[in-house]
Amino acid sequence: MNTAGPLELADLRGKFVVLDFWTYCCINCLHILPELKKLERKYADSVVVIGVHSAKFATERENENIRQAILRYEIEHPVVNDADLVLWQRYQVSVWPSLRVIDPEGNLVAYHQGEIMFEQLDRFFQPAVAAYRRKRALTETPLQFDREAHGEPRTALRFPGKVLADAAGRRLFIADSGHHRIVVTDLQGRLLTVIGSGREGSADGTFGEASFKQPQGMALHDEILYVADTGNHLLRKADLNRRHVATMAGSGKQARGFARRVSTVPRGTPLASPWDLWIHGGDLFIAMAGTHQIWKMDLQGRSVGPYAGSAIEDIIDGSLLPRTPSQTGYAAFAQPSGLASDGERLFVADSEGSSIRAVPLSGAGSVSTIVGTAGLPGRRLFTFGDRDGPASQALLQHPLGVAYHEKVLYIADTYNNKIKRIALEPPYVVQTIGDSSKTFDEPSGLSVADGMLYVADTNHHRIRVLDLSNPSSVGLLDVASLLPPSVQASGEHETSSPAGSAAE
């Protein structure tokens, strides 16, 4: 994919070839994509990146799902679907992400496991490129590839990630993640406003000036909309009365490793892919997907820091926050990506472990698992499926969203393309709502208002609506006057084609 035809290594002689072994569910894999893009920009004449997509989940083996991930994350280099892990085994890869470097003469010369920053790559390639240039082994004519994005239809929404329904204000907030903006409508889909220019960036300012990068989760309090600016590793706030966006927390750099201490300088504190938000009392809870933790910040922005999780990627029940990452008896999460609450517990869609967790909001007690793999002795991150029934036996596949309403938890079972529900009282049975697998394509965000469940149908670029009194009937929210952003030379925010026709 992302190329007009098959590539052979022999065709790439004279170039450094970087093989990026990745899978699109993996937050660590997503973290290095912008680093590789910097490498491709600087060394366009001498380095070619090839993505080797080696799937973890069953749905990730499918070509079309990988193609959608290429579009969602704006990947520009060729990608091969290594569905049967042939290349993974040939290059002796054991973790995601992993890199292998082949020199211009066809020799495997370097490897790396785990995340990596552009500066580290640059320190390797600067002398390497110079050395092969001196020996005249380097071909410095840039290669052009036929990208999947070429000819793609422009839709009003693009890979919407999360939704937030505000029953009191009769509004719906949509994280239009692929367009780097927040769309605000009423509950029937009438466009009210757009927050963000549609340009990728991290600028504060008026709604028209401000910019985001792949925003996801949102929370609302006193006409302040809090936004997880995921791609920028920031927390932002949009003042809906003043129509102004400001940064609340995050240095703009990605946090790495275990964090325990609370920082009193939120604007100087590195964050790591905040994916969803929830407000309880005077605190904002954060699904910090990149460090596999739950964080907390007070709404005045005076402090921010970890609340639960050892930062070890796993599904382990236990006490909230250890002193060290290796301390036993404490909870571990695996890429928490969705939040909801009943007022006493914070429910977490723990995506990489295909589990739903419950975190006490009191600051004491233990994390427990409602549906999922915490009770298994091993392979907790690799046990998944599509099985309804008693919660102790049910299986999910990479859930990204949860919503709570009247003692029922609704689950975006993302990689099964389904919406499920579990009543949070005996006998705790997981049920699929209707025949949703034929309706949705990787749904990732849920929110409830007035008995209606709003669903971010991510790969279909649309918002679906389920009447919870008759959930087998699924409607489409038609944001008829919404147009995709386009940036003209003048810098004006323009529009192109309406949502109704584009979404359909």
| DSSP per-residue codes, 274-299 | EEEEEEETTEEEEEEGGGTEEEEEET
pLDDT of residue 437: 64
CB 161 within 8 A of CB 214: yes
pLDDT, tens digit, for every residue of 103-121? 999 999 999 999 999 999 9
- SS3 assignment, position 173: strand
Mean of per-residue pLDDT scores for the chain:
94
Q: Which amino acid is at 120?
A: Q
Order of all β-strands in the sheet with 304-308: 274-280, 283-288, 293-298, 304-308
Structure tokens at 34: 């912008």
Q: Left, alpha or beta for 242 (phi > 0: left; psi -120 to 50: alpha)?
A: alpha
Beta strands in 250-362 (DSSP E): 274-280, 283-288, 293-298, 304-308, 318-319, 336-341, 345-350, 355-360
Helix boundaries (H) for 400-467: none
Helix boundaries (H) for 8-152: 27-42, 63-72, 86-90, 118-134
Exposure string for 288-300, b = 16+ CB within 10 A, e = fewer = bbbbbbbbbbebe
What CA–CA distance (Å, rounded) separates 304 from 295?
7
Residues in contact with 403: Cβ distance below 8 Å, sequence separation at least 6, in sequence order? 340, 409, 410, 446, 447, 448, 453
- SS3 assignment, position 354: coil
Predicted confidence pLDDT, tens digits, the chain (504 residues): 999 988 998 899 999 999 999 999 999 999 999 999 999 999 999 999 999 999 999 999 999 999 999 999 999 999 999 999 999 999 999 999 999 999 999 999 999 999 999 999 999 999 999 999 999 999 998 888 999 999 889 999 999 999 999 999 999 999 999 999 999 999 999 999 999 999 999 999 999 999 999 999 999 999 999 999 999 999 999 999 999 999 999 999 999 877 778 999 999 999 999 999 999 999 999 999 999 999 999 999 999 999 999 999 999 999 999 988 878 999 999 999 999 999 999 999 999 999 999 999 999 999 999 999 999 999 999 999 999 999 999 999 999 999 999 999 999 999 999 999 999 999 999 999 976 667 999 999 999 999 999 999 999 999 999 999 988 889 999 998 999 997 422 333 333 333 433 332
What is the pTM for the complete model shown? 0.94
- CA-only gyration radius of the chain, Å: 22
pLDDT, tens digit, for every residue of 68-94? 999 999 999 999 999 999 999 999 999
